[in-house]
Structure 1
Amino acid sequence: MTSSTPRRTVLAAALAAAAGTAAVPAAPASAAPASAAPATTLIRDGAGALPTGVAPGLVDNHFWTSYTDWRCGSSDGTRAVAGRRPGLVIATPAGRLDYADPHTGTTSTWEYASWTSPVHTSTVPATEVIASWNADTPPGTWIQIELRGTYNDASATPWFVMGRWAAGDGDIKRTSVDDQSDGRSSIWTDTFSVDDTTSGLRLDAYQLRLTLYRTPGTDRTPTVWRLGAMASDIPDRFTVPASAPGLARELAVPRYSQNTHVGQYPEYDNGGEAWCSPTSSQMIVEYWGRRPSAEELAWVNPAFADPQVCHAARFTFDHQYEGCGNWPFNAAYAATYPDMNAVVTRLRSLTELETLIRAGIPAITSQSFRKEELTGAGYGTSGHLMTVIGFTADGDVIANDPASPSNEAVRRIYNRREWENIWLRTKRYDANGKVRSGTGGVCYIFWPVKPAPTQRRVLQSLGLL
């Protein structure tokens, strides 16, 4: 196993009995870009081609990022700021809130302001929604992200908390919120999920609400640059159709092994043996030329190699989930580096992933499998993140797999057909023959605020810009 705690995906819920109604936490009152690394490329189907032959109607991405976006919706004490990277900040606080941090036992008073997005009608009536955000939270500030939706029978969900987040951990402990359900849908760590997908119930539309908090009496403020979500309706499937290879290219991505950190900082999910997600995130952060400073790494034991991996684990850790595998928290971590965007999404095919690689954009993918299902991996897992960095001339997947014994062993080549199926399926059999979940193509994508023109076109084609 590559994680000490199985990833609690929403797909696991779809295979279990429908969850009972649980209390929903109360809402607040009122409540310089680096170019891609050098790579050798052989492109079989055209350098500028966008994905073809991709299954439509499975994924809808929508994000608020522009000055105009931030001026829409409903504001209670927030203000849109213009500039090269428009954002949302506190203008005049709307009120105060006493927040009892469940992970410290401390209650503190915070000023807050909020912003509620316009209603977004998804192009995909959805069974699942995953939010993403990119923000700066100076010391003494934090943010909360919530979602409220409308079902296809015109009924509405309550406001669900999708995350309480800060870049640091000195003010609050960043956290997901368990036990949220309206009896029809539930929040599973970081994902909204319809409990019974066979019922025909779908989420047609949603709003997101941002609440920005700061220490009373200060002029500090979080700045949120990006807020949005991926809505999807991936059909139940044990296998997916095979795709034809279309690209041979390998990106020069740094290689880090999570297993060189076994036993280090066990307060973060028992140590490095469970750090596949932050290790993968750090590889991509550094691919784009960003890394923590010596000052930021000063807390790490100097005897530990690759201290930036320890840093990534600490600053992606979800104190409720008790792990570093919260998908949006990893994206938010990547976006704390200068001029970086990051989202959680789903890709519909390996063809779309090839299109990203062609443009010089690696991706972090989530998959689960038995040992015999992925030749050469040498392990089985109920949930694991790895970084796809390219494709061979035969179309096989080149991955930086952090579940390797050393940095030198991280680069792996995996059989295209095997890898494609374990990543894109939504159901699988475990070693005992029981039906378990698969992620259905979940991945993280990070890129600079000012991408190259080809990168911009590809990101736009996926609905990420």
Structure 2
Amino acid sequence: MTSSTPRRTLLAAALAAAAGTAAAAAPATASDGSTAVEPDTAPAGPDGRGHDPEPGIVDNRFWSSYTDWRCGAAAGTKAVAGQRPGLVLAAPAGRVELTDPHTGRTAPWEYATWTSPVHTPTVPATEVIASWNAHTPPGTWLQVELSGAYSDGTATPWYVLGRWASGDDDIRRTSVDDQTDGKSTVWTDTFAIDDTASGLRLLSYRLRLTLYRAPGSGLTPQVWRIGAMASDVPDRFTVPASAPGLAHELIVPRYSQNTHVGQYPEYDNGGEAWCSPTSSQMIVEYWGRRPSTEELAWVDPAFADPQVCHAARFTYDHQYQGCGNWPFNAAYAATYPDMNAVVTRLRSLTELESLVRAGIPAITSQSFRKDELPGAGYGTSGHLMTVIGFTPTGDIIANDPASPTNPAVRRVYPRREWENIWLRTKRYDANGKVRGGTGGVCYIFWPVKSAPSQHRALQALGLV
């Protein structure tokens, strides 16, 4: 298999180098949704099976209730009550002309803002990844920013974590490069401390939403959820083995990214790099959602599984030039009716098992050499797959989009090797160089109306 340059490895390499020196400030991107051949917080405590998830390494905080929206600082926005409370643009706080760097078009926009209360994570953080769930009608879009306080008493600037729209007619969905203050850098979708060995950490942060619309239109984005995962996962090449739980398997649609090779190369060179949107589409359809016939009308009717092409188009980050922007995939899933979606980290395979037992599959991000994961048949410097179950011996059942056909997507991977690959933060590539790992990053999607057991599983992770 081949793919575009695995850009999250740039972040990984920088963080690995930061063990002794600060990372250089340079244009960089972070998300890697491609498959490439290699040249407030979750509670701590024992899980009852002899494995104690690490306390204090992951903190989740999401604003989604009517009270949450009313607690923020609003300038032209207002909270809307109802079955699914949200935030809307009520009266413009100002007007600005902006030029889209990807189209060259300059247009006027009205805007309003909402700024979250200051959140102090239980873990002083080395990384923060935001997520948002929203709908932006044509003629509207939104921007998400982060600002925080360092442990040395100084503050970050306001960093842009994404400029996003449900569609792609008004602006081009994009991350923003070249954001650094010499202490931290935004690598596409991830805020990261440059020199983690220095002991510098992010102690608190605020998120700011700016909602935009065409002047005089009266339209508004509607945001239902915004928040972030903050973490300080220790450097590690290996993680302790966990004890297997109960066997369970979910029936999730199977889609191969490789059946789309060569299709719509304007979206990251076509299907060979579409592991992230392909995985996202599998989970969207697991929850009974899918694009309408009208929404798929743009796709060549000769192409099978047009919804995968649709997912690639509407997760595409025009700056990163790929479909693997983690928050953009979550935001895409949440454009479907009554869906929630977040990017987070899990502290253990046991936590992932608890989700699957509750009926919630998860999309995991990992990188590995070909020889490190028996049964895969490939190596990757960044790949997404969907975990749908566990065998009686605890091995992982995954819908792996890096498969030649849809029927071949279901794979079983050995527990110990897969667990270590997913949870580690450092690894060796085929040339013996130290590279980074994602440290348990995953996407989790679930419906607004979920079963009590699902709500409990999500609550235990600090996601609801």
TM-score, normalization: structure 1? 0.93
**For the residues of structure 2 that align with 1:361 and 1:368, how far apart are their CA atoms?**
23
Q: Which runs of 5+ in 1 are unaligned?
A: 24-47
Deviations 1:273-311 (A, max 9, x none): 000000000000000000000000000000000000000
1:39-438 matched pairs, under 5 angstroms: 53-438=52-437
After superposition, give the CA deviation of every residue in 1:123-181 in whole Å (9 maximum; x if it has no partner).
00000000000001000000000000101122100000000000100000000000100
- 1:423-462 equivalence runs, <5 A: 423-462=422-461
CA distance change for structure 1 residues 67 and 303 in 2, over 3 Å: closer, same or farther?
same
* Corresponding residue SS for 2:68: helix
Q: Please give the alpha-carbon distance, in whole angstroms, between the structure 2 residues aligned to 1:233 and 1:291.
A: 36
Q: CA deviation at 1:387?
A: 0.1
Distance in 2 (alpha carbons) for counterparts of 1:205 and 1:12: 25
Instruction: Judge conservation of contact 2:237–2:424 (CA < 8 Å) in 1.
Output: yes
Change (3 A) 1:49 1:341: farther
Amino acid across the alignment from 1:398:
I
State the alpha-carbon separation in 2 of the partners of residues 144 and 102 from structure 1: 15
Asked if 1:15 corresponds to 2:16, the answer is: yes
- Decide whether the 8 Å contact of 1:256 with 1:279 is kept in 2: yes
Find the aligned partners of 1:225 and 1:295 in 2 and give their Cα distance: 25
- Percent pairwise identity: 80
What is the Cα deviation at residue 52 of structure 1?
Answer: 6.1
Equivalent residue letter for 1:5: T
How far residue 50 of structure 1 moved from its aligned partner, in angstroms, is: 11
Q: Do the aligned residues in 1 keep the contact of 2:364 with 2:442 (CA within 8 Å)? A: yes
For the 8 Å contact 2:299–2:309, the answer to whether it is kept is: yes
For 2:5, the equivalent position in structure 1 comes to 5
1:316-351 per-position Cα deviation (integer Å, ceiling 9, x unaligned): 000000000000000000000000000000000000
Does the Cα contact within 8 Å between 1:64 and 1:70 map onto a contact in 2? yes
List gaps (5 residues or longer) in structure 2.
28-46
Q: Secondary structure at the match of 1:390?
A: strand
- Cα 1:333–1:50 change in 2 (3 A) is farther
Deviation at 1:53, TM superposition (A): 2.0
Task: Tell me the alpha carbon deviations over residues 187-245 of structure 1, each in whole angstroms, 9 at most, x when there is no partner.
Answer: 00100000010000000100000000000011100000000000000000000011110
Contact 1:22 1:183 in 2 (8 A): no
Going from structure 1 to structure 2, the CA distance change for 1:3 and 1:247 (only over 3 Å counts) comes to farther
Does the CA contact (< 8 Å) of 1:51 and 1:351 recur in 2?
no
SS of equivalent residue, structure 1 residue 231? strand
Q: 1:293 to 1:49 in 2, by over 3 A?
A: farther
SS of 1:123's partner is coil
TM-superposed deviation, 1:20: 4.2
Aligned partner of residue 340 in structure 2, secondary structure = strand
What amino acid does structure 1 have at the position aligned with 2:22? A
The number of aligned residues is 441
Deviation at 1:2, TM superposition (A): 6.0
Q: Is the 8 A contact 2:132 2:227 kept in 1?
A: yes
Distance 1:393 1:303 in 2: 41
Contact 2:6 2:381 (C-alpha < 8 Å) held by counterparts: yes
Aligned with 1:61: secondary structure?
strand
Partner SS, residue 459 of structure 2: helix
Give the letter aligned to residue 77 of structure 1. G
User: SS of the counterpart of 1:113?
Assistant: strand
| Cα separation, 2, equivalents of 1:113 and 1:20 | 35
Per-residue CA deviations over 1:29-85 (Å, capped at 9, x if unaligned) read: xxxxxxxxxxxxxxxxxxx98996211111000000011110112111001000000
Tell me which amino acid in the other structure corresponds to 2:403.
Answer: S
State the shift of 1:450 in Å: 1.4
* Partner of residue 35, structure 2: none
2:328 and 2:369 mapped to 1: Cα distance?
Answer: 27
Cα distance in 2 between the residues matched to 1:309 and 1:420 = 28
Give the AA of the match of 2:15: A
Alpha carbons of structure 1 residues 113 and 294: separation in structure 2 relative to 1, 3 Å:
same
Q: Give the distance between the partners of 2:375 and 2:302, measured in 1 at CA.
A: 31
Aligned to 1:28: none
- State TM-score, norm by structure 2: 0.93
CA distance in 1, matches of 2:208, 2:331: 17
State the shift of 1:19 in Å. 3.8
C-alpha distance in 1 between matches for 2:184 and 2:124? 14
Task: Measure the CA separation in 2 of the matches of 1:457 and 1:50.
Answer: 19
Residue 8 of structure 1 and its aligned partner are, at CA, apart by: 1.7
Inter-CA distance 110–51: structure 2 relative to 1 (3 Å threshold): farther
Contact 2:23–2:195 (CA under 8 A) maintained in structure 1: no
8 Å contact from structure 1 (residues 7, 325) kept in 2: no
Matching residue's letter, 2:414 = N
**Contact 1:145 1:164 survives alignment (8 Å):** yes
d(CA) in 1 for partners of 2:71, 2:452: 28
Cα distance in 1 for residues equivalent to 2:49 and 2:135: 33
CA contact (8 A) 1:127 1:197 kept: yes
Aligned counterparts of 1:129 and 1:60: Cα–Cα separation in 2: 9
Letter of the 1:56 counterpart: P
CA RMSD, Structure 1 to Structure 2 (Å): 1.5
